[in-house]
Structure 1
Amino acid sequence: MFLGALVASLPLFVLLLGIPLLMKPAAKVAPLAWLVTVLAAILYFHFPAKVVLLAALQGAITGIFPIMYIPFGALVIYNVLKATGWMDKMQGAMANLTIDRRAQALLIAFGFSAFLEGICGFGAPVAIPAMILVGLGYNPMMAALVCLVANTGPVPFGSLAIPTVTLAKTTGLDLMRLSMMTGRLMAPLALIMAFATVYAMSRGKGMRGSLGTILVTGLSFSVTEFLVSNFVGPELTSVLAALACLAATAAYLKIQKRVEPWLFEGESMAASAPKAFHPMDLFLSWLPYLLLAVFIIAVNLPKTKPLFAGTAPGWSALLIKIQIYNPAKPYTFSWLQTPGTVMLIAGAAALPFMGIKYSVMGHQFGRTFRQMIPSFIAVACILSISEVMNLALPIVDPKTKLAIWGDLAVKQASMVATMANSIVAVVSTHVYPALAPIFGTIGVFLTGSNTSSNALFGNLQKLTAQGMKLSEILMASAGSAGASAGKMISPQSIVIAATAVGLSGKEGQIMRQTIKYTIPYVILLGLLVWGFAFLFPHLVP
């Protein structure tokens, strides 16, 4: 078992060695890790070569559509705004709200990112805020780091709570109880990450004098997240918490305008001072993103979601569905509902009001595609690795109940399950709660998605809890909460952040920085879960 776990871990070792340690571009490391994964699956785990390659193909396609298509749409619109001067107008308008760099980070990287996470998730909450921060004059490396660190608190409730809903469906556990427990874990962590957001960009110097802003931002988000997740439900938790955070922070900054702002080293007050601007500039510069929010919500309402997802009668043309290797898990792509398409539509709808010709968008479309080719390669390989590592036999046709691949009498565990089983085998009941979040972190490191991580490890957490006589709700929620830590070091997330700020090929430098925040985050979460398990079990729903 342990040799199998070691072999299954080889792709992770390649990624960890190549990206953060050897500082090689993800576009070069990921194909090598992909090759190691495929060879291990065929030669050691004895999966049929054809099914391995088909699974790899499905993962690669998923990596492009919808995963990288989302930041592609966001980057096209950003490049249009940058080329036409509207990003400069946004910078001027933001400066009139606050020129304090710490406050800008809290508003955009923490608050606005949480809003995007709540409505669409995937790469948008990192890509769009990072681009905006660079447009406001942030160092690209700093912008990427700040957005990756800040985008943690809303993750389990992102995309209208798809990760938590998926966890409930995968495990059969009660959705509301999972929402309540996840909210109780994430609320205090969200407050801590508000502090971490400012620390990531300013270290100790910037922390002084920003306590009030941090507390208003962090508390408004975390308190709302706790209340909504515990008394309303998971779907709108991140959206409402983000809106409360943005409103509270903006109101506080308006009151605190007389406080001396904190600027980057070398910046002068005169250069950063608010410039005259027309109020309409603020509205128009944000119009593509405001329309994005409206359109995303519009296509995800209970009555409209089945239509735009292509699952309602007569709307099947909006859903691309292909059986590649597993009839129970076909490749699906709701091309009109995906945030990538919605971002492009929102941008196109805004352009006439901003006086921008569509030819500019066409030019930036091609330019952005060329710019993102290395990122396409990296993420396609990473998602392909994930699909192969999750491959298990037999694969059964749900209609005929016959094996499509493998033998019904012989079960072959996936590479990921082999790793997980080995970890569980050596962990005691009194230690496991502190380690439970790590499964979520590993899951997101592999897939880049909290939803995929919950689908991957949700039942493992439930079955382990049953065997150890621990709370199923607590262990499952711990894994989902731990997934937010994985977002900071996931190669997929880092590639998206690097692409957004123009640092493709320097993913290793970014990961070296984010892992410094991931480790203490996981430790704090582990201690919190352990406390709920043994000190405050009555607080577990």
Structure 2
Amino acid sequence: MLLGALAATLPLIVLLIGIPLLMKPAAKVAPVAWLVTVLTAIFVFHFPAKTTLLAALQGGLTGIFPIMYIPFGALVVYNVLKATGWMDKMQGAMANLTVDRRAQALLIAFGFGAFLEGICGFGAPVAIPASILIGLGYNPMMAALVCLVANTGPVPFGSLAIPTVTLAKTTGLDVMKLSQMTGRFMAPLALIMAFATVYAMSKSKGLKGAIGTILVAGLSFSITEFLVSNYIGADLTSVLAGLACLVAVAIYLKVQKHAQPWLFEGDAPADNAPKEFHFKELFLSWLPYLLLAVLVIAVNLPKTKPLFNGSAAGWNWVLLKAQIYNPGKLYSFTWLQSPGTIMLIAGLIAFPFMGIKYSVMGEQFGKTFKQMIPSFIAVACILSIAEVMNLALPIIDPKTKLAVVGDLATKQISMVATMANGIVALVSKHIYPLLSPLFGTIGVFLTGSNTSANALFGNLQKLTAQGMGLSDILMASAGSAGASAGKMISPQSIVIAATAVGLAGKEGLIMRQTIKYTIPYVILLGLMVWGFAFLFPGLVP
């Protein structure tokens, strides 16, 4: 059993060596790991070559449509706003609401970063806020640290919740239950990380005068994150929570009376005085994202959802589906309901009001595609690896109940199930919940992506939980929540932060600072998982 479990980990070992140790891009390491996965499945686990390759094809297609199509649509709109100057207007408004350095960090790194994570993710929530903070006079190391620490609460629901959607697709678990459980983890953690954001820049001496702003930022985000993830769904959780945080902090900063703003040594209030900005410009700069929120809700209402997911009579044209290797697990893509399509439609509606020509959108469409090619390759390979590693025989036709691949009398468990059995044999049921967040942390450390981490380890969490008699929803969600800790120490995130603030080559120094926040985060989350598992199991969906 242990030899089989070791063989099943070979693709993960390749990722571990290639990305964090050799510091090679995921787009170059993932194809190598993919090849190792396929060869291991065929020659070590003896899966049929044709079935293995078809499973790999389905995983790769899923990685592009719907997975990477979502951030693609978001990045097209973002790049249009950036190219036309509208993003500068939005950033300027965010930067000029206050001169208090702690409030700026909460507004820009915590609130605006969360919104960007919800919309597009993939480095933008660190790079953009960090560059704004540098422009406001922050020390480069401090700007990088603050943005990495702040970018934790929204991560499992980033890029319109694609990590949670991927977790559901990989495990076959209910996406709403995963959203609810993940939200129950992340809401209190996000509040704690609001305090950590200010502590990272000012230590305990700066906390005292900022409690009000921290609570407004943290509670507005956390309460919205909990309510949306538990009662509406995963897609808009980080978007709406980030918006709620921005609005709440902006209002609070306008009405509160600061006798003395907290400034860096050498700062003068006059040097950092807020500049005038126009509400109309601010509203228009946000218009595509406001329309996105409205449209995503509109297509997911009880009466409209069957239309846009293709289940209503006469609406099957919106559902692309195909049987690739498993009649019980069809490839499907609801292209009109996809947040990627909705983001593009929101842009098409908003741009005329903003004076943006459609030709600009066409130009950025092509540039965004080129920009995202490495991400397409990496995520397609990761999802392909996940599909192959979760392949098990026999494959049963749900209609005939007959085996289309393999023998009904002979079961052949998946590579992931083999790994799960190894964990069950070595780890106590009462210890595993404490360790489960580490899979998400390690997954993001390896790949830089919560989406990829969920694809790699989601089913492992599910099968391990089932083998131990624990909640699969709880353990899968714990891994996704643990991914936020991995974001703080992921080489990919740190390289992005270092580049944004002009500290390229100093990534090791940044990691030494962020790991101080990663370790207590993982410990606290592990204790929360243990509590849900054994003290409050009734709170697990």
TM-score past 0.5 threshold: yes
Pair 1:355–1:247, CA change in 2 (3 A): closer
> Which digits, 9 at most, give the CA deviation of each residue in 1:205-250, with x for residues without a partner?
87675443222222344456567888x6877977776565444333
- CA distance 1:530–1:129, change in 2 (3 Å): closer
Q: Contact 2:326–2:397 at 8 Å: present in 1 too?
A: yes
* Paired residue type of 1:133: P
- Matching residue of 2:300: 300
Counterpart in 2 of 1:335? 335
- Paired with 1:487 and 1:507, the residues of 2 have a C-alpha distance of 24
**Distance (whole Å) between structure 1 residues aligned to residue 401 and residue 506 of structure 2:** 45
2:183 and 2:402 map into 1 onto residues whose CA distance is 41
Q: Per-residue deviation at 1:275?
A: 2.3
Does residue 1:124 correspond to 2:120, yes or no? yes
**Structure 2 match to 1:469:** none
Letter in structure 2 aligned against 1:376:
F
C-alpha displacement at 1:406, in angstroms? Answer: 1.5
Say whether 1:133 aligns with 2:156.
Answer: no
> Residue 484 of structure 1 aligns with which residue?
481
2:529 aligned residue:
529
2:459 to 453, 456, 459: 456
Change (3 A) 1:369 1:166: closer
CA contact under 8 A between 2:94 and 2:107: conserved in structure 1?
Answer: no
Q: What is the CA distance between 1:465 and its match in structure 2? A: 4.6
Q: State the SS of the aligned residue for 1:448.
A: helix
In structure 1, C-alpha distance between the alignment counterparts of 2:428 and 2:343, rounded to whole Å: 48
Q: Which residue of structure 2 lines up, in the alignment, with residue 80 of structure 1?
A: 80
Q: Give the C-alpha shift of residue 478 in structure 1.
A: 4.2
Quote the offset at 1:260 in angstroms: 5.6
Aligned counterparts of 1:373 and 1:540: Cα–Cα separation in 2: 39
- Alignment CA distance shift 1:262-1:316 (3 Å): farther
Deviation at 1:521, TM superposition (A): 2.5
Aligned residue runs from structure 1 range 60-71, under 5 A: 60-71=60-71
Q: TM-score, normalising length from structure 1?
A: 0.80
| Pairing 1:357-376 to 2, within 5 Å after superposition | 357-376=357-376
Structure 2: how far apart are the matches of 1:306 and 1:185?
Answer: 30
* CA apart distance, 1:55: 1.2
Distance (Å, rounded) in 2 between the aligned partners of 1:393 and 1:453: 19
The alpha carbon displacement at 1:314 in A equals 0.9
Say whether 1:418 aligns with 2:414. no
* Alpha carbons of structure 1 residues 103 and 395: separation in structure 2 relative to 1, 3 Å: farther
Sort the Cα spacing of 1:30 and 1:154 in 2 relative to 1 into closer, same or farther, 3 A: closer
Percent of residue pairs bearing the same amino acid type: 65
Please tell me whether the aligned partners of residues 224 and 244 of structure 2 are also in contact (alpha carbons under 8 angstroms).
Answer: yes
- Structure 1 residues 75 and 164, CA, compared in 2 at 3 Å: closer, same or farther? closer
Contact 1:60–1:384 (CA under 8 A) maintained in structure 2: yes
Aligned partners of 2:167 and 2:458 also within 8 Å: no
User: In the superposition, relative to structure 1, how do residues 168 and 49 fare at CA in structure 2: closer, same or farther (>3 Å)?
Assistant: closer
Contact 2:186/2:481 (CA < 8 Å) preserved in 1? no
Could you tell me which residue of structure 1 aligns to residue 137 of structure 2? Answer: none
SS of 1:149's equivalent in the other structure is coil
**Judging changes above 3 Å, is the alpha-carbon distance between structure 1 residues 401 and 370 closer, same or farther for their aligned structure 2 residues?**
same
Contact 1:110 1:147 (C-alpha < 8 Å) held by counterparts = yes
TM norm structure 2: 0.80
Query: Counterpart of 1:381 in structure 2: which amino acid?
Result: C
Match of 1:15 in 2: 15
Q: How many Å separate the matches in 2 of 1:180 and 1:317? A: 31
CA distance in 1: counterparts of 2:312 and 2:537, whole angstroms? 43
Which has the higher mean CA deviation after the structures are superposed, 216-225 or 453-462? 453-462
Which runs of no fewer than 5 residues in structure 1 stay unpaired? 467-471
- Across the aligned residues of Structure 1 and Structure 2, the Cα RMSD in angstroms comes to 4.3
Q: Is the 8 A contact 1:372 1:499 kept in 2?
A: no
Instruction: Return the alpha-carbon distance in structure 1 between the equivalents of residues 86 and 232 of structure 2.
Output: 38
**Partners of 2:539 and 2:76 in 1: CA distance:** 47
What are the equivalent positions in structure 2 for 1:131-530 lying under 5 Å apart?
132-133=128-129, 136=132, 145-146=148-149, 148-152=151-155, 158=161, 170=173, 185-198=185-198, 209-223=209-223, 245-256=245-256, 258=258, 272-438=272-438, 448=451, 456-457=459-460, 459-460=462-463, 463-466=466-469, 472-473=470-471, 476-487=473-484, 489=486, 517-530=517-530
Shift of 1:36: 1.3
Equivalent-residue separation in structure 1 for 2:460 and 2:430 (angstroms): 20
* Distance change in 2, residues 1:144/1:361 (3 Å): farther
Superposed CA deviations along residues 126-156 of structure 1, whole A, max 9, x for unmatched, are 566456526735579669735642424767x
Counterpart code for 2:480:
A
CA distance in 2, matches of 1:502, 1:62: 31
